[in-house]
């Protein structure tokens, strides 16, 4: 039985992914990341959702791609996970064919596929509100367009993506999703606090200054409170289910580095790999890795099982995605830390993949939902929900 990582996609897609990773390996040496993203857009790799309609296959292929790219670069894979989850959730949500939203979506998907467009988005809600003066994104209707003002603190692929996706609050209190080209003078990108640690992700803050967006580029979420909630929760579930892939890919790469190290390190006439104790330790790392992959795969199954207006299916999906994100990112971090203790100073060799991963692996648990959010959610489920 093929699992979420080894599942085979279309042969051409496999060849393209192999070439994408080959280019990325070279770009990691030069740090010319725009070159990588330009090449990526010439392939079908980022556009799985535009070609495949089976939700579970979309998830499996997307996860596999992000995992493989994560073996080379966490920042690049994390950035692409933002594109993947927005595109996948938008493409797979079961809008009614009689709705205007459905046809708007089909037109946009066709445009993305035909022109090879990458999407950046403003990310999920954070645990703490910003007291530094950052304003939320607001939209004001003027004739047949909207005027957007506000600031989002984090956006991956900023300045690289062709289109931006964000949710803004309308003056009457409802929300709408906006799709706009990124090359607009009313959009200002500024470097985020991560510096070189997440180089390649192009994570920046974005400010909208009287940005004019035509109504044709807007999907309103104000039809009903239930539908609005469903769409946003469904989208967040895709995010939580996909974002572990980069970190698990990196953790797996570290395990492979440990395997190579163990075959060369000799003590008392034996290689480290011949030690029973070492085998036991590596087994523990693989258990964590496999368990994390299984949790993610289960979230993919529930994405396929989601049904509109079915509160139970949405709740199960959301909780499965949160659990997958929580344990996967923590297990990935534990794998890296345990490997560091086994490899010692060799692990921290400047310029090594293990040293690079060590600095980046911590971002997994910090991405929303954070541990604080997750504990709060499940705590309230116990305290306030009837059992």
Mean pLDDT check: name the lowest of 16-25, 80-89, 210-219. 210-219
The SS3 assignment for 142 reads strand
Query: Can you tell me the mean pLDDT for 139-156?
Result: 91
Dihedrals φ, ψ of 170, to 5°? -80, 165
Instruction: Read off the pLDDT of residues 95-135 as tens digits, 9 standing for 90 and up.
Output: 889 988 888 889 989 999 999 999 999 854 444 454 444 46
Element (H, E) at 154: strand 145-155
Which residues pair with residue 266 across a beta bridge?
Answer: 271
What CATH number does domain 225-384 carry, 3.20.20.70, 1.20.140.10, 1.10.3720.10, 1.10.1040.10?
Answer: 1.20.140.10
Rounded Cα distance, 292 and 5, in Å: 11
Average pLDDT taken over every residue of the chain: 89
Distance of CA 68 to the CA centre of its chain: 13
168-215, pLDDT tens digit by residue?
888 777 788 898 999 999 999 998 767 778 889 999 989 999 999 998
Q: Are the C-beta atoms of 81 and 261 separated by less than 8 Å?
A: no
CB atoms within 10 A of CB 301: 14
CA distance 319 to 316: 5
Alpha-carbon 333 to chain mean position: 17
Query: Percentage of residues in the chain with pLDDT exceeding 90?
Result: 65
Ordered DSSP codes for 253-287: HHHHHHHHHHHH-EETTEEGGG-HHHHHHHHHHHH
Whether pLDDT at 345 is above 80: yes
- Cβ-count burial 371-383 (b if 16+ within 10 Å, e if not): eebbeeeeeeeee
What contacts 387, CB < 8 A, 6 or more positions away?
none
When comparing pLDDT for 376 and 387, which is higher? 376
Reported pTM: 0.91
Element (H, E) at 80: helix 74-92
Question: pLDDT confidence of 164, banded at 50, 70, 90?
Answer: very high
- Reported as a single tens digit per residue, the pLDDT across 206-265 is 999 999 999 888 887 655 554 557 888 999 999 999 999 999 999 999 999 999 999 887
- The rounded distance, in Å, linking the Cα atoms of 310 and 279 is 46
* Three-class SS state of 221: coil
Domain-by-domain residue ranges, the chain? Answer: 11-118, 138-220, 225-384
Q: How do residues 265-318 score in pLDDT, each as one tens digit?
A: 777 778 888 888 888 999 999 999 999 999 999 999 999 999 988 889 999 999
User: How far is Cα 197 from Cα 130, in angstroms, rounded to an integer?
Assistant: 22
Tell me what pLDDT residue 172 has.
72
- In 3-state terms, what secondary structure has residue 371? helix
Q: What is the pLDDT of residue 255?
A: 97
Mean pLDDT on 347-352: 94
Tell me how long the chain is: 387
Taking the domain 138-220, which CATH number applies? 2.40.110.10
Q: Range with the lowest mean pLDDT among 39-53, 60-74, 372-386?
A: 372-386
Phi, psi of 367 (to 5 degrees): -75, 145
pLDDT at 223: 53
Same fold, 138-220 and 225-384: no
């Amino acid at each position: 039985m093929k699992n979420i990582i080894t599942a085979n996609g279309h042969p051409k897609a496999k060849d393209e992914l192999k070439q994408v990773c080959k280019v990325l390996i070279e770009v990691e040496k030069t740090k010319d990341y725009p070159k990588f993203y330009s090449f990526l857009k010439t392939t079908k790799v980022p556009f799985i959702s535009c070609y495949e309609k089976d939700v579970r296959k979309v998830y499996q292929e997307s996860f596999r791609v992000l995992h493989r790219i994560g073996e080379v670069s966490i920042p690049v894979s994390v950035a692409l996970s933002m594109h993947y989850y927005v595109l996948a959730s938008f493409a797979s949500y079961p809008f009614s064919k009689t709705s205007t939203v459905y046809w708007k979506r089909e037109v946009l998907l066709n445009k993305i596929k035909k022109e090879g467009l990458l999407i950046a988005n403003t990310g999920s809600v954070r645990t703490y509100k910003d007291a530094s003066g950052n304003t939320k994104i607001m939209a004001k209707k003027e004739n047949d367009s909207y005027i957007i003002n506000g600031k989002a603190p984090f956006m991956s692929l900023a300045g690289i993506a062709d289109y931006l996706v964000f949710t803004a609050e309308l003056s009457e209190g409802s929300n709408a999703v906006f799709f706009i080209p990124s090359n607009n003078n009313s959009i200002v990108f500024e470097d985020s606090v991560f510096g070189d640690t997440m180089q390649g992700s192009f994570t920046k803050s974005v400010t909208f200054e009287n940005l004019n967006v035509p109504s044709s580029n807007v999907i309103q979420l104000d039809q009903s409170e239930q539908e609005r909630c469903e769409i946003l929760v469904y989208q967040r579930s895709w995010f939580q289910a996909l974002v572990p892939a980069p970190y698990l890919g990196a953790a797996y790469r570290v395990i492979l580095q440990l395997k190579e190290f163990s075959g060369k390190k000799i003590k008392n006439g034996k290689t480290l790999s011949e030690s029973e104790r070492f085998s036991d330790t590596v087994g523990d790392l693989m258990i964590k890795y496999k368990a994390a992959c299984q949790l993610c795969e289960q979230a993919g199954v529930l994405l396929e099982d989601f049904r509109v207006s079915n509160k139970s299916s949405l709740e199960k999906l959301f909780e499965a995605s949160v659990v997958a994100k929580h344990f996967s990112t923590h297990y990935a971090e534990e794998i890296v830390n345990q490997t560091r203790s086994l490899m010692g100073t060799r692990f921290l060799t400047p310029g090594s993949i293990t040293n690079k991963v060590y600095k980046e692996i911590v971002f997994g648990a910090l991405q929303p939902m954070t541990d604080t959010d997750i504990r709060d959610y499940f705590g309230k489920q116990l305290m306030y929900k009837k059992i």
